[in-house]
Structure 1
């Protein structure tokens, strides 16, 4: 046994725990110098499986100075909770390591301290890592790096942020050829492909470790008393408020997930409307709220002080809220992985069941719920495919490296091609990117401000300080609608709302935000000023917030359920309740088979009308309608 592993085994035993076999497998693989992907259910100890390998290595070494472990998280909101988990075993093991955070929230003084004396472990985001690589001394910063962990890899892999992470990993491997890379995920359907995307040219030597830990997942539903008076359309679903309140009362702490921020605001208001005595014990959490408000809600959850929190995807990932024993999903989960991810927010520890209760907001969502549960329990999780060759992102990355020590074309091309995303990058595409960052490409070469990079003796560098400053301010791939601050006239910031919504308001209009009815006063200096409204009457939260598309996997599962219904098979409570409606559909029209596209024709006094039913979700509908 490696010398550093026995103290870890002893520490587990002292806490009344025993490492799972998959954790020991990861530790051994790490200590053998291997990289890989860890796949295990939420709440089964994935964090310790990735963390204890570097810790064991440090316990067996005399010199452990400098930055040794880089922990990449997709959301900076997860950083604080991750830091607590990583620090937990260090004191008991006698390892004097510093675990610190570097994100957009880190102050300049904290960053200066980290630069003067690097911590042994640093938790950061892809954007902050890119920013670190833009500095000329980044080789010195990462000189002692031994391990990079990418948490919640499934959240990054199919986005440009994932490609940004791939490019950063390629740069770190060029600086430190011996570093090990480990990804962590609980919800992936294509494990080999996910590991290949993560490790790039090193994928052949990678190891896939699956945690076969017995973890009970309970997926049930709250259904209306009768389908006859249940709506066929709509997405707020507040007619189900009474049974949901009863479900909240059954446990200690409950997370109520909604698919949009507007829906979350409505449900928060309705819960307090029925149970005003819960004020202060039921809170709201979504991405548009002010950071301090969200932090206060998260702390209340961790301390078990809250009866319920109405949330969006802002609480989907990684954060450990041990007191949560029940999750309610309002509306269709929209994806199998999302349903399992949200279920894992309850019972977030080994040996405790995770329970999610789905609540339909209209009749047809009962089919979604039945299909999602069947697919989840059969392990049919969505595959996440990596993005291939985005040249805009490659251009940004090359400017980032040129800001620091600069690069030479042939060496950088080999480094870029070592990633999965750019493994098939052609010489022509490479030259196009080089021309774009040096001369602005064929369209912009007449404008000096687009000549970001200059070349001297084969070395490409950024020499203009203004270009360098602008680039560092805009590093990243997250694109969102323009947003405005929302604040009271008398002071106090509430959060941000899309400019497209606020620009349509007139003074005196009411809207619900931050769980409060507000009256719009005016816009000045990119801030919408409001005052408390006397009531919620006339206030509708129709600001965008976010829309979730139906996943391909769930769309396929829905088609399977409808195909069974064609032959009279209704094998779940939800499908049994849908039987009268589907019977009407079969008699008046048709229930489409898995390989059929239903088109209905209706004749009215205005003429003939066609209705198309792809049954593939919003993205397909919008594409067909374009």
Structure 2
């Protein structure tokens, strides 16, 4: 070959060129970094080609080090994914170049959906490349020969890193990575993401175990591919002057149906499963002839049904699918042309993630249309578009040393061949979330695993690890080992019941709490069907097709998302434009009657002002504040202010919160002076005041149930012998009380309180909100009638006390009185 001639492209790149694809610059950048042995984070637009950027780079290096022969290679690469549906899609994507370039190498998938026969085959010999989840990887670490089986792993990819980063599942992945890096110090790990605000920190979290062992500095690659993102709003025909949560929901039925008719295959996203069930029925009511052309998809449905829906989307045979976050992530549905989002996505990142499900290929436009269910969501839609175009995306931060996950990991590693305490401590500190773990905290976790801490020493079931003759810590009891393997993972939800037809056939699973409220003969919608409840037997709810035409919709716990801080500030900025008379955005023009009514009766909130409304009714004295900080922060704020106000002037308050503000109601007049002066927003003694203002013990006890489950104190039972939610709650409550009484220094109790503050009340965001409120200029408005901003908060409070019919009558009277008096 002449020296002037270019070198032939590597095998992996040749495969890409053979498909008619030209590598992007960012893909070549990743290939180069992988060739240098560097880990890193790839942040690129959805559908830009992230999968092949990292996989072809890693495959090329594997081919160079281990030229393909006739025999399969041991396990060389692990691809971690947060969702089982995404695992199947990823397996198909990475199979094509593997079959072309190394046909003797094997590819496998190991998730909760993997059949037992395939698991048994993998147990005899792992494939060369394995696509799995954090839970399944932890299970692999618990195998007796884990060291020998996993020491050959040279590459790890964590897909949708932003989805795992801020959760305990992400911490579980960190610990698994730290373990794999110890087994092979030359390991290279890459994370993939499309929607992250804090890229540098996200990269450090991923690469920290390697850096602790002297690995090369990680690489941050930004895939800047020009991709048109269209964000628009389906404007309601008549938003009106007043609106509240869900007020416009069913009214949008016909506009949504018409949009689907005009589009190709469409994904209709909702935020919660109950809303997905409702919208599936709304579409069928409007177009009965679409039966068989539209489908429903959420995590509680039977696996076979979900897979049928996913295949229908890929094949383009479905007109529309109503889905929740079960289809949020990077599953490749090329035929999908349009995404509709019912209600607010509550965050810029989530909206962009869902938009990326349409036009999922380089060069194609992604389009998401926001379908508001109240007037404020119309304004929020314009704000979300502005924030996305400006790149103001939410940050994700890793949890700080959750000890329940550490306790679980210690037992896992003890099962996986045993460990020396000093070596494991150094290894665990390699994980970012535990980089500040003290020796005393690790010693406490070890003692808790060894003998159950100070209060469970007398119970052998909690003596989970012991030192053997060689000085290694192992699990000495087979029963404990089996129980631990069944409980590995950090996903904790209410106990679920299988839902089956009397005649046979599974529909999925539902929370036990909903089933417990049903009586034989009650009808409900589930998995898109109207069902009649028959009976419960052995934790299975048996149903039959209902003859009635009406039914209720199941509710699921923990389903309300909170408005992100970034989106809240964007909404305030959009409202400031309206306050200045700028209604140029189509959404602001549509919301103009609502905004002008708010301005006439009160004032429009802006970033520089704090609107405080007061109102007198037969219920008492009302005060409304609008920080736009999200419902979790507002719960903490409302409780804190009520406590501080009552401390100075004795009073009793009831509270109501939504994403935009909160309401304080009392029988006695409310002293507004501390609010208007800013004194009530002081951050001094914040932790003390927050704990005093809430039933913190009750909240911590509820949170402790999840911690007890992850730490292995309570189990979900055995296959065929599940434990009920009542049993789990009773068990965890008993541990909580025992620890409080006999082991008050138990660090899991402290963790429960810390998680209440950081996750349920978002203490750091609460502090930021207080600081921001002190800087705003207060604007007090006395109301003669509820304002458009205050009415939704009244509705939130009414809903807890009134039936749907009573609520409707009450609102009709309020609106009639307002229209009569204001003209």
Both proteins in one fold, TM over 0.5:
yes
Cα distance in 2 for residues equivalent to 1:104 and 1:582: 50
Residue 228 of structure 1: aligned partner: 240
Q: Secondary structure at the match of 1:365?
A: helix
Q: C-alpha offsets along residues 122-171 of structure 1, whole Å, 9 cap, x if unaligned? A: 00111111111111211111122110000000010000110110000000
Cα distance in 1 for residues equivalent to 2:15 and 2:172: 37
Structure 1 position 209, deviation (Å): 0.6
Of 161, 168, 172, the residue aligned with 1:164 is 172
Of 438, 446, 455, the residue aligned with 2:450 is 438
- Please tell me whether the aligned partners of residues 262 and 544 of structure 1 are also in contact (alpha carbons under 8 angstroms): no
1:91 aligned to 2:99? Answer: yes
Structure 1 position 502, deviation (Å): 1.3
Structure 1 position 222, deviation (Å): 0.6
1:23 aligned to 2:34? Answer: no
Residue 465 of structure 2: aligned partner: 453
Structure 1 position 4, deviation (Å): 9.2
Of 32, 39, 45, the residue aligned with 1:41 is 45
Q: C-alpha offsets along residues 87-130 of structure 1, whole Å, 9 cap, x if unaligned? A: 11233335432111011222333223223333110001111111
Residue 647 of structure 2: aligned partner: none
Residue 335 of structure 1: aligned partner: 347
Q: Secondary structure at the match of 2:375?
A: coil
Cα distance in 2 for residues equivalent to 1:133 and 1:538: 46
Residue 464 of structure 1: aligned partner: 477
More helix by share: 2
Structure 1 position 458, deviation (Å): 4.0
Q: Secondary structure at the match of 2:367?
A: strand
Of 510, 517, 520, the residue aligned with 2:533 is 520
- Please tell me whether the aligned partners of residues 333 and 357 of structure 2 are also in contact (alpha carbons under 8 angstroms): yes
Residue 71 of structure 1: aligned partner: 79
Q: Secondary structure at the match of 2:304?
A: helix
Residue 378 of structure 1: aligned partner: 390
Structure 1 position 576, deviation (Å): 1.9
- Please tell me whether the aligned partners of residues 358 and 367 of structure 2 are also in contact (alpha carbons under 8 angstroms): yes
Q: After the TM superposition, which of the residue ranges 315-324 and 100-109 deviates more from structure 2?
A: 100-109
Cα distance in 2 for residues equivalent to 1:55 and 1:167: 25
- Please tell me whether the aligned partners of residues 197 and 392 of structure 2 are also in contact (alpha carbons under 8 angstroms): yes
TM-score by length of 2: 0.74
RMSD: 2.0
What is the 5 A alignment of 1:216-615? 216-228=228-240, 231-234=243-246, 237-456=249-468, 458-544=471-557, 546-594=559-607, 596-615=609-628
- Please tell me whether the aligned partners of residues 5 and 56 of structure 1 are also in contact (alpha carbons under 8 angstroms): no
Cα distance in 2 for residues equivalent to 1:2 and 1:372: 48
Cα distance in 2 for residues equivalent to 1:232 and 1:606: 20
- Please tell me whether the aligned partners of residues 284 and 309 of structure 1 are also in contact (alpha carbons under 8 angstroms): yes
Cα distance in 2 for residues equivalent to 1:536 and 1:620: 41
1:209 aligned to 2:221? Answer: yes
Cα distance in 1 for residues equivalent to 2:332 and 2:511: 30
Residue 50 of structure 1: aligned partner: 54
Residue 108 of structure 1: aligned partner: 116
Count of aligned positions = 626
Consecutive unaligned residues of structure 2, counting only runs of 5 or more, are: 640-693, 695-823
CA shift in 2, pair 1:432/1:259, >3 Å:
same
CA shift in 2, pair 1:606/1:311, >3 Å:
closer
Q: After the TM superposition, which of the residue ranges 455-464 and 74-83 deviates more from structure 2?
A: 455-464
- Please tell me whether the aligned partners of residues 510 and 538 of structure 1 are also in contact (alpha carbons under 8 angstroms): yes
- Please tell me whether the aligned partners of residues 51 and 86 of structure 1 are also in contact (alpha carbons under 8 angstroms): yes
CA shift in 2, pair 1:175/1:378, >3 Å:
same
Larger relative contact order (CA 8 Å, sep ≥ 6): 1
Structure 1 position 560, deviation (Å): 2.0
What is the 5 A alignment of 1:135-146? 135-146=143-154
Q: After the TM superposition, which of the residue ranges 406-415 and 520-529 deviates more from structure 2?
A: 520-529
Cα distance in 1 for residues equivalent to 2:422 and 2:532: 60
CA shift in 2, pair 1:201/1:298, >3 Å:
closer
Cα distance in 1 for residues equivalent to 2:396 and 2:556: 29
Q: Secondary structure at the match of 1:559?
A: helix
Cα distance in 2 for residues equivalent to 1:531 and 1:7: 57
- Please tell me whether the aligned partners of residues 347 and 355 of structure 1 are also in contact (alpha carbons under 8 angstroms): yes
Q: C-alpha offsets along residues 464-487 of structure 1, whole Å, 9 cap, x if unaligned? A: 111111000000100101111112
Q: Secondary structure at the match of 1:528?
A: strand
Cα distance in 1 for residues equivalent to 2:406 and 2:87: 27
- Please tell me whether the aligned partners of residues 78 and 318 of structure 1 are also in contact (alpha carbons under 8 angstroms): yes
Structure 1 position 503, deviation (Å): 0.9
CA shift in 2, pair 1:277/1:95, >3 Å:
same
Residue 60 of structure 1: aligned partner: 64
- Please tell me whether the aligned partners of residues 224 and 230 of structure 1 are also in contact (alpha carbons under 8 angstroms): no
Of 5, 9, 15, the residue aligned with 1:11 is 15
Q: C-alpha offsets along residues 431-480 of structure 1, whole Å, 9 cap, x if unaligned? A: 11111111211232232211111124642111011111100000010010
What is the 5 A alignment of 1:166-185? 166-185=174-193
Structure 1 position 207, deviation (Å): 0.3
CA shift in 2, pair 1:476/1:3, >3 Å:
farther
TM-score by length of 1: 0.96
Structure 1 position 344, deviation (Å): 0.4
CA shift in 2, pair 1:595/1:510, >3 Å:
farther
Q: After the TM superposition, which of the residue ranges 15-24 and 451-460 deviates more from structure 2?
A: 451-460
Structure 1 position 80, deviation (Å): 1.1
CA shift in 2, pair 1:576/1:396, >3 Å:
same
Of 603, 619, 622, the residue aligned with 2:632 is 619
Structure 1 position 375, deviation (Å): 0.6
CA shift in 2, pair 1:464/1:597, >3 Å:
farther
Cα distance in 1 for residues equivalent to 2:482 and 2:88: 28
- Please tell me whether the aligned partners of residues 530 and 551 of structure 2 are also in contact (alpha carbons under 8 angstroms): no
- Please tell me whether the aligned partners of residues 4 and 60 of structure 1 are also in contact (alpha carbons under 8 angstroms): no
CA shift in 2, pair 1:523/1:325, >3 Å:
same
Q: Secondary structure at the match of 2:341?
A: strand
Q: After the TM superposition, which of the residue ranges 15-24 and 598-607 deviates more from structure 2?
A: 598-607
Cα distance in 1 for residues equivalent to 2:301 and 2:497: 12
Cα distance in 1 for residues equivalent to 2:357 and 2:404: 36
